[in-house]
Amino acid sequence: EIVLTQSPVTLSLSPGERATLSCRASPSVGTSLAWYQQKPGQAPRLLIYDASTRATGIPARFSGSGSGTDFTLTITSLEPEDFAVYYCQRRSNWPYTFGQGTKLEIK
Amino acid sequence: QMQLVQSGAEVKKPGASVKLSCTASGYPFTNYYIHWVRQAPGQGLEWMGIINPRASTTTYAPEFLDRVTMTRDTSTRTVYMELGSLRLEDTAVYFCVRDPDGFDIWGQGTMVTVSS
C-alpha cells in the first residue's frame, strides 16, 4: 500500500511570503503525483500534475518539484486567495490515494 | 463549457443504498475516465473508484469493493455510483471527477447524510 504523508499539517504565513509544502510517498511513485487546492465549500482544483506540470489556468507562482518519494509544492509570494487546504495525490496505480492535506492559513 | 453536474442531496437510513448520478457535458463523454471521491465533514479526500465510460470497466478501492457499483449510460452521458449497506460514517460529500492528466473537472458534489 502506498502512503502519502504531507507536512506540515498547518502552515501559517503572511501574504507576500513563500510557501513550501511537502508530500512524501512510500514507496516511490515516480513522477505520478498531483497537487490540488481546496477552499471551504468548494470542490478541489487541480494545480499540478506529473509532479511539475501546471494545470491550465494556474498562475506561475505555483510550482511543483520532486520525484520518487519526495515532492514539494511551492507558492512564491502568497496572494490572499491562496490560503486554503492543499492535497497531494498519487497517480501511479489505482487506488489514487490522497495525502491528508496541509492547511495554509494566514498568520 | 465542460462540466459535470451531480444529482441532489440524499438522506438515508443505515443499511439502505444510495445511487448518485453525474452527467457530463461539453466534451466527448467516452474519452475520459470518471472517478468518484468522497469527503466526510471536516476530513480529507478519499478515492472510491473509477469507471471507463467507453468500456464500462471499473476498479474500486479495496475498502468499498463489496458495496459499491459504478455504471454508465452513454445515451445520457451519465455515470452512476451506488453505495450499499450505508453506515453513519458514510455521511459525506461525494464528487465525480474527470481524469485526463489529473482530476481537472469536478462535479459540484452531492451531500449524502446517513442518519437513523
Contact call for B47 and A101, based on CB within 8 A: no
Task: Report the alpha-carbon distance of residue B26 to residue A61 in Å, rounded.
Answer: 29
Q: What average pLDDT does the segment B109-113 reach?
A: 98
Q: What is the pLDDT of residue A93?
A: 86
| A chain contacts of residue B103, beta-carbon cutoff 8 Å | 34, 36, 44, 46, 89
Contact call for A43 and B50, based on CB within 8 A: no
Q: What average pLDDT does the segment B91-113 reach?
A: 96
| A chain contacts of residue B61, beta-carbon cutoff 8 Å | 94-95
Low-confidence ranges of chain A (pLDDT < 70): none
Q: Is the per-residue pLDDT at B52 higher than 90?
A: yes
Q: What is the pLDDT of residue A49?
A: 97
Give me chain B's average pLDDT, please: 97
B37 touches B45 (CB < 8 A): yes
